[in-house]
Structure 1
């Protein structure tokens, strides 16, 4: 009986894992994640949908943001254990020469010291 209970628990645990969604409200996450660095021009077309979901991104954990939007193009450390996840929205010098400072449009998500998204800003280059 104990083995059967353990088997049911482990099997249930394996199948209860959620897969990464392809949509977040209006935002097509599959397209967003597929345009690393915004170098293919797809993210620029998704900006209105991204803006519509800003309030829903706030309060999400660092891990959740990473799962939804993919690995950030730049992970910038800030004061007091805060960090920024930066995603470029358009092609720029960062596409042809990785590591080179870019002034392309980007979005920065500020992550608090406890790992929650607190602010979303748009700018040229880095915040």
Structure 2
């Protein structure tokens, strides 16, 4: 019984230790306040975001919410994985959120454990 408690405490401790990304040079408040990229502020940050791609990998979905804000679209993928979609430029989604948009976006794929495994810059929704 004692060993079980120690193992549980160890697992909880490990789970709470997530990677804290160094997003230096990125104006996180401007990013968060430009929902959907509709104000054009995120478009100015594309090069910086691309340079931080490796920093974003390994970050938990909860932490990414804290840094970049809620995603513009949250898409479920196969095997309990998901994508966070952040539009980086204005598009048809700015007029009607239900419209399919071909605007430039950053798609972050999360594993079933909630850790970022891929960061892609693309147009159109990710393939599942």
Q: Could you tell me how far apart the structure 1 residues matched to 2:91 and 2:62 are?
A: 27
Q: TM-score, normalised by structure 2?
A: 0.79
Q: TM-score, normalised by structure 1?
A: 0.80
Q: Is the 8 A contact 1:88 1:105 kept in 2?
A: yes
Question: 2:43 aligns to what SS in structure 1?
Answer: helix
Q: Which residue of 1 aligns with 2:125?
A: 126
Alignment of 1:1-127 (within 5 A): 24-127=23-126
Query: Which runs of 5 or more residues in structure 1 are unaligned?
Result: 1-22
Structure 1 runs of 4+ off > 3 angstroms?
A: none
Provide the aligned C-alpha RMSD in A.
1.1
For 1:35-86, what per-residue CA distance to the aligned partner results, in whole angstroms no more than 9, with x for missing partners? 0000001100001111121111110111001110100000000000000000
State the 1:98 CA deviation: 1.3
Number of residue pairs matched by the alignment: 105
Larger radius of gyration: 1
